[in-house]
């Protein structure tokens, strides 16, 4: 039987078996909503302009960058664009994260970026940083993962992706500090080489570190196989290893 907040149901305790007396319990009202990803699996797509954009980067500028907060009126648009047009889709975010929506000089959306919690383990990254497991567990919040990067499919502008990445890395450390009260020392991302070449990350000076082992964060039994991805890292400060390793 499924019991929900606010329901009323009857029970019979041990002493009541002989008397046949039922006792009713009234559950309290729910205190709030539950952030369950299964509840918003089908995100609605907010109406938006899909007029093709084919121009030079200069003709697109200046680009505006907006941080999309959980209470922003633009959040449904951001979520819908990612869910509809990114190959991984999008349900919801957990943990520390920042969402960026970029628009062109006419106010038309051109790109979405989502940064969130870093991967718990990644051999190529961890060897490059040089942190011990205990240090990694303690300092992982100082590293963020670019989990989604979407240039909208009707936008064809040479060098736009690299320009956006360069613009975001110049501001994300300050944005993260303002939102969460602690700094970031580096960024990471994972590129599916079956789909992409990672050109924009290389153009924006992200460092290729190697390949993943084709596992997921839920693969505790070493039996889930996914496409191996190329690992990239972008140091946000000169002494990023000192910050990440806490020394």
Domain for residue 39, yes or no? no
Q: Do 91 and 130 share a structural domain?
A: yes
Q: Do 87 and 16 share a structural domain?
A: no
Q: Do 77 and 153 share a structural domain?
A: yes
Where is pLDDT greater, at 20 or 45? 45
Residue 129: its pLDDT value, please? 97
Query: Which domain range does residue 4 map to?
Result: 1-32
Q: Do 52 and 27 share a structural domain?
A: no
Q: Do 144 and 51 share a structural domain?
A: yes
Q: Do 81 and 123 share a structural domain?
A: yes
Domain for residue 38, yes or no? no
Q: Do 56 and 14 share a structural domain?
A: no
Most confident of 90-94, 160-164, 217-221: 160-164
Average pLDDT over residues 98-114: 97
Confidence band, pLDDT 50/70/90 cuts, at residue 6: low
Residue 20: its pLDDT value, please? 52
Where is pLDDT greater, at 93 or 206? 206
Q: Do 1 and 66 share a structural domain?
A: no
Cβ neighbours for 186, distance < 8 A, ≥ 6 positions apart:
129, 142, 143, 233, 234, 235, 236, 240, 244
Residue 220: its pLDDT value, please? 54
Q: Do 158 and 217 share a structural domain?
A: yes
Question: Closest by alpha carbon to 4, among 40, 28, 24?
Answer: 28
The total number of structural domains that make up the chain: 2
Q: Do 79 and 56 share a structural domain?
A: yes
Least confident of 56-60, 176-180, 210-214: 210-214
Q: Do 77 and 6 share a structural domain?
A: no
Q: Do 57 and 18 share a structural domain?
A: no
């Amino acid at each position: 039987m499924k019991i929900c907040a606010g329901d009323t149901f009857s029970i019979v305790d041990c002493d009541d078996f002989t008397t046949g007396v039922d006792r009713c319990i009234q559950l309290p009202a729910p205190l709030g909503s539950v952030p369950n990803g299964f509840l918003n699996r089908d995100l609605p797509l907010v109406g938006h302009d899909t007029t093709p954009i084919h121009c030079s980067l200069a003709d697109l500028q200046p680009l505006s960058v907006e941080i999309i907060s959980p209470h922003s009126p633009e959040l449904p648009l951001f979520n819908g664009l990612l869910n509809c047009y990114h190959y991984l889709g999008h349900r919801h975010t957990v943990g520390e994260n920042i969402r960026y929506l970029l628009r062109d000089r006419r106010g038309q959306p051109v790109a979405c970026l989502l940064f969130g919690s870093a991967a718990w383990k990644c051999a190529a990254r961890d060897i490059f940083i040089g942190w011990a497991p205990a240090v990694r567990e303690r300092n992982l919040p100082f590293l963020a993962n670019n989990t989604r990067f979407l240039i909208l499919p009707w936008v064809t502008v040479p060098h736009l992706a690299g320009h956006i990445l360069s613009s975001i890395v110049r501001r994300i450390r300050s944005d993260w500090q303002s939102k969460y009260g602690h700094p970031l020392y580096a960024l990471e991302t994972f590129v599916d080489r079956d789909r992409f070449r990672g050109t924009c990350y290389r153009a924006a000076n992200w460092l290729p570190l190697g390949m993943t082992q084709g596992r997921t964060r839920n693969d505790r039994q070493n039996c889930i196989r996914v496409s191996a991805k190329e690992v990239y890292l972008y140091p946000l400060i000169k002494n990023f290893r000192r910050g990440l390793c806490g020394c």
